[in-house]
Structure 1
Amino acid sequence: MKFYSRNITADSLTGAVFALEGIRRSAVIMNAPTGCKFYHSAISDNQYPRQISFDPLNYPETFYFGQPRVPCTYLDSYDYVYGSKDKLNALLDFIHGEDYALVAIVNSPGAALIGDDLEGIARAKLPHTPLLVIENPGFSQSFYKGFQDTLQALLKNLPLVKGLKKKNSINLIGISIFNKYYRGDIEEIERLLKLCGIETNCVLCADTSLDDLRRIPQAALNVILYPELGLDIARYLEEAYGMPYFLFDKGLPIGFDLTEAFLSGVCEKLYGDALPTDEGLKDQQSSFTMELEKARVDAYLHLSRIHSLTGLPRGVTFSVEALSSSLYAYTDFFLNYLGMIPNAIDHIKDDPCLFTDKLRTLLEKHHLEQGLHQSVYEAESDLVFSNGSTIAQLKLKGHAFSGIEIELPSLGYIDVFPKTHLGIKGSLLLVEQILNGMNFS
């Protein structure tokens, strides 16, 4: 039976807002009706908290409506006829004098039809503040397009400083505060790169300063993490600044094998045939190899104990709902390393499908391609890897399974300690979640 209540996915307006909310000390203003702001402010404040108070009474101002982030001009029918200038001026007067590194104004799709000169209005009020105006966030386009188009507009608007190239440095391109575990993802990838003697120059774009963005051309290489959020940006930087980029051909570094392949690929792209001979750097790379092997041993110990008694996790069925880059990497780890069986490999709506062909090849190799034709809502699996909303819907349908969140929206679990499914730490966390998930499904 066809399931008609699939989640509504974020669109290009949301992509634009979260691209800019990922910049440190930014004020992102929505020129939009009140209803457009609540979701964006709630997610941004939860994923990237800057204020110590959660009490809505601390934010009673007209433009904030009890939330600390993403003020809006609360447009109504009058403003759509006579323009939003008066309300925008009032909001700009309210924030004038605050120490913002960037003020960004994002039109809602409806407000884009009004035709106000937002940049002219804002420049008159904030002549000395870095400013970016997104007049048209896209009409019903994808989150990924809105995110990348907005960051390209920002990079074109900033004076990027070329300077001297740092030969052992990279920019990490393609991550957002809308990624569930973005803090842990960044920390783990930066940590592993450092073990290989590689410094991170800039992360585009989550908890990033304008100064970091201005230094982007000084890195020797752009490394794409989530391709759906970074490939177009990397291509722009290659065209505009001659910067090479590395796109991992297996999607994401999930699992021990793909983590090793990802790091090897970055090193090969960065150094080419002139691999460094420095003894200190060799020691660092040796430290990565030793840590990776130790993690394999730790995982094997726990897996072997469970397998010796039950035969699991081999044969455990799973469903995954995500972008194709994530689908490929999760499926490779679960199938090739753990011997689990894919019931449903489900792309989320608006997925650019950059890795769908590779995913199909992987499944056909094991004669399991039927998983690509099954919806996560229809398959009944032992483990479901998806967002909190899908997991909740499946629970309400009476399915017996363990749900493991890999995407937003969340069920509300508060992550005090940064977590990740990427790299070595992420591989161990996944093994832990799977072993415990089998016990409580």
Structure 2
Amino acid sequence: MSIENKNTIEKTNSISQVRYACSIASLYTASSIPGVIPITHCGPGCADKQFMGLAFYNGFQGGGYGGGAVSPSVNTTEKEVVFGGADRLRELIKASVKIMDADLFVVLTGCIPDLVGDDVPSVVSEFQEKGLPIVYAETGGFKGNNFTGHELVVKSIIDQYVGPYEGEREPHTVNIWSLLPYQNTFWRGDLSEVKRILEGIGLKVNILFGHHSKGVEEWKEIPKAGFNLVLSPWLGLKTAQYLEKKYNQPFLHIPTIPIGAQETSRFLREVTEYAGLDKEKAEAFIRAEEKEYYYYLEHFADFYSEYWWGLPAKFAVVGDSAYNLALTKFLVNQLGLIPARQIITENPPEEYKKAIADQYKHIAEDVSLDIDFIEDGYTVGKLLEETDFGHKPPIIFATTWDRDVAKKLNGHIVEIGFPASYEVVIARSYIGYKGALNLLEKIFTTVIGKSA
């Protein structure tokens, strides 16, 4: 089966219903590392808007220890625009260090200081020379979106805090570069599941972000790892390539984040082979996980086979490439659903787009798809309305922005990305063995709930 998606909508230079944040939103990259507090050098409202967009109306994730209302901000005014904001930043850092307990401070710049030329590196270096754990990243909005900002912050921490390393390596230790914290609504649960299954096959895992990270102590151990694992279509590749250059550290790139037993077992076997792990131990773990997974799936099959008259046959996925690709593979190969439209919304760098599109050419043995890279919500809506979903109501995996279109199509909607304002997410995961079971529950509770 080959499904070709033709973008027939006239392109414009405007973007409505944006599905990412600006570069300074990478303050949530910093705050998602335990013990790290970001300091924002930007105009009033900039940091607050990132919180409301990413951490509140996106699963209501919360700001945590260093985000939300906690993060100090210069709140640049006209005075700093005219006379410069370096002194104000210096004052803020001094106050923050005095009253806030942090293992590392990360200074992030917004558009105003980057445009007027504030010498932020010089200000931060004054504190670095005194031994304060502090770094800076120039993350003005014109640098790009929060995906760009994420990699800028990661590189800043590696260069200014982790530093050089020439010691021994731990061959069975891995650094994980995968989902973007907060942008991905389910990143906490997903990264926990990644760590769990990789530890299950015998690896020591530096997960780096979230509750299961050891914070800056773990970041200090990055150079000791035997390799880096990039588990996403493209995000993290630039970081892994930089670490290869800086520490002569190899990396493995697996574009598809695994959902369900089929993809997860394949993923674990590929990592086992690459890392030279004990195959018997890995296979024992995989067998145990599959046994539990298929136990639950066997009982789910009674519902899936008997409720056929009310279940959707075709689906669309609108969202970041990581979840888009992972969901598409799972829905096609594990549930037998028919893909009707795949739209990627985070605007990946041009050099990665062909490789991402090529992944969709091999969704299954007889399924090859064309995809659309679209940022504008209006265009997304028009494409969904034009899509042939057949005579049954479709199921659309998308965002809050797409709920109205789903209603027009009499379809079902499962929110899987930013913004997700009709989901409260605490520790839920949709990936791996356990996450796939959560996903199945969510999908079909949504379907039968709408038909009730």
Shift of 1:295: 0.8
Matched pairs, number: 415
Matched, 1:344 2:341: yes
Distance 1:312 1:254, change over 3 A: farther
Distance 1:160 1:35, change over 3 A: same
- Which of 269, 274, 286 does residue 269 from structure 1 map onto? 274
Aligned twin of 2:76 = 75
Please give the alpha-carbon distance, in whole angstroms, between the structure 1 residues aligned to 2:46 and 2:119: 21
Please give the alpha-carbon distance, in whole angstroms, between the structure 1 residues aligned to 2:223 and 2:97: 32
Please give the alpha-carbon distance, in whole angstroms, between the structure 2 residues aligned to 1:328 and 1:176: 15
Please give the alpha-carbon distance, in whole angstroms, between the structure 1 residues aligned to 2:223 and 2:369: 44
Please give the alpha-carbon distance, in whole angstroms, between the structure 2 residues aligned to 1:356 and 1:246: 20
Distance 1:211 1:337, change over 3 A: same
Please give the alpha-carbon distance, in whole angstroms, between the structure 2 residues aligned to 1:388 and 1:117: 40
Shift of 1:385: 0.9
Shift of 1:111: 2.0
* Worse-superposed segment, 31-40 or 5-14: 5-14
Please give the alpha-carbon distance, in whole angstroms, between the structure 1 residues aligned to 2:40 and 2:119: 15
Aligned twin of 1:214 = 220
Matched, 1:303 2:301: yes
Shift of 1:6: 4.0
Aligned twin of 1:28 = 38
Higher relative contact order (CA 8 A, sep 6+): 2
Matched, 1:400 2:410: yes
Provide structure 2 residue ranges, at least 5 long, that are not aligned to the other structure. 1-7, 374-379
- Which of 224, 230, 235 does residue 236 from structure 2 map onto? 230
Matched, 1:326 2:323: yes
Contact 2:19-2:418 within 8 A present in 1 as well? no
Within 5 Å, which residues of 2 pair with 1:12-411?
Answer: 13-14=23-24, 16-42=26-52, 43-44=54-55, 46-47=60-61, 49-50=63-64, 68-97=69-98, 98-124=100-126, 127-137=130-140, 139-158=142-161, 159-178=163-182, 179-200=184-205, 202-206=206-210, 208=213, 209-249=215-255, 251-271=256-276, 275-276=277-278, 282-283=280-281, 285-310=283-308, 313=311, 316-352=313-349, 353=353, 354-362=355-363, 365-366=366-367, 369=370, 375-376=383-384, 378-379=386-387, 382-391=394-403, 393-394=404-405, 398-411=408-421
Q: What's the secondary structure of 1:149's corresponding residue?
A: helix
For residues 338-369 of structure 1, what are the alpha-carbon distances to aligned partners after superposition, in whole Å with 9 as ceiling and x for unaligned?
A: 11122221111413434212213438933765
Distance 1:306 1:312, change over 3 A: farther
Shift of 1:219: 1.5
For residues 76-104 of structure 1, what are the alpha-carbon distances to aligned partners after superposition, in whole Å with 9 as ceiling and x for unaligned?
A: 22321111134323322321323222222
Q: What's the secondary structure of 1:440's corresponding residue?
A: helix
For residues 106-158 of structure 1, what are the alpha-carbon distances to aligned partners after superposition, in whole Å with 9 as ceiling and x for unaligned?
A: 11123202122223334446733112122354625233222112211220112
Please give the alpha-carbon distance, in whole angstroms, between the structure 2 residues aligned to 1:136 and 1:191: 33
For residues 144-176 of structure 1, what are the alpha-carbon distances to aligned partners after superposition, in whole Å with 9 as ceiling and x for unaligned?
A: 222112211220112355543223221111333
Q: What's the secondary structure of 1:134's corresponding residue?
A: strand
RMSD (CA atoms): 3.1
* Worse-superposed segment, 36-45 or 149-158: 36-45
Shift of 1:8: 1.3
Contact 1:421-1:429 within 8 A present in 2 as well? yes
- Which of 425, 433, 437 does residue 428 from structure 1 map onto? 437
Shift of 1:184: 0.9
For residues 259-315 of structure 1, what are the alpha-carbon distances to aligned partners after superposition, in whole Å with 9 as ceiling and x for unaligned?
A: 1111111111100xxx537xxxx35641321221331242133134331352675x6
Please give the alpha-carbon distance, in whole angstroms, between the structure 2 residues aligned to 1:44 and 1:8: 15
Please give the alpha-carbon distance, in whole angstroms, between the structure 1 residues aligned to 2:45 and 2:428: 31
Q: What's the secondary structure of 2:436's corresponding residue?
A: helix
Distance 1:140 1:390, change over 3 A: farther
For residues 185-241 of structure 1, what are the alpha-carbon distances to aligned partners after superposition, in whole Å with 9 as ceiling and x for unaligned?
A: 1211111112212221x2244454111111012111211123432111111111211
Contact 1:41-1:69 within 8 A present in 2 as well? no
Please give the alpha-carbon distance, in whole angstroms, between the structure 2 residues aligned to 1:112 and 1:370: 36
Please give the alpha-carbon distance, in whole angstroms, between the structure 1 residues aligned to 2:337 and 2:245: 42
Q: What's the secondary structure of 1:385's corresponding residue?
A: strand
Q: What's the secondary structure of 2:383's corresponding residue?
A: coil
Contact 1:101-1:210 within 8 A present in 2 as well? yes
Please give the alpha-carbon distance, in whole angstroms, between the structure 2 residues aligned to 1:370 and 1:246: 25
**Percentage of pairs with the same residue:** 21
Q: What's the secondary structure of 1:246's corresponding residue?
A: strand
Alignment-mate amino acid for residue 145 of structure 1: T
Q: What's the secondary structure of 1:169's corresponding residue?
A: strand
Contact 2:137-2:152 within 8 A present in 1 as well? no
Distance 1:402 1:230, change over 3 A: same
Contact 2:21-2:50 within 8 A present in 1 as well? no
Contact 1:175-1:226 within 8 A present in 2 as well? yes
* Worse-superposed segment, 3-12 or 282-291: 3-12
Q: What's the secondary structure of 2:75's corresponding residue?
A: coil
Aligned twin of 2:5 = none
* Worse-superposed segment, 368-377 or 353-362: 368-377
Q: TM-score normalised to the size of structure 1?
A: 0.84
Contact 2:320-2:344 within 8 A present in 1 as well? yes
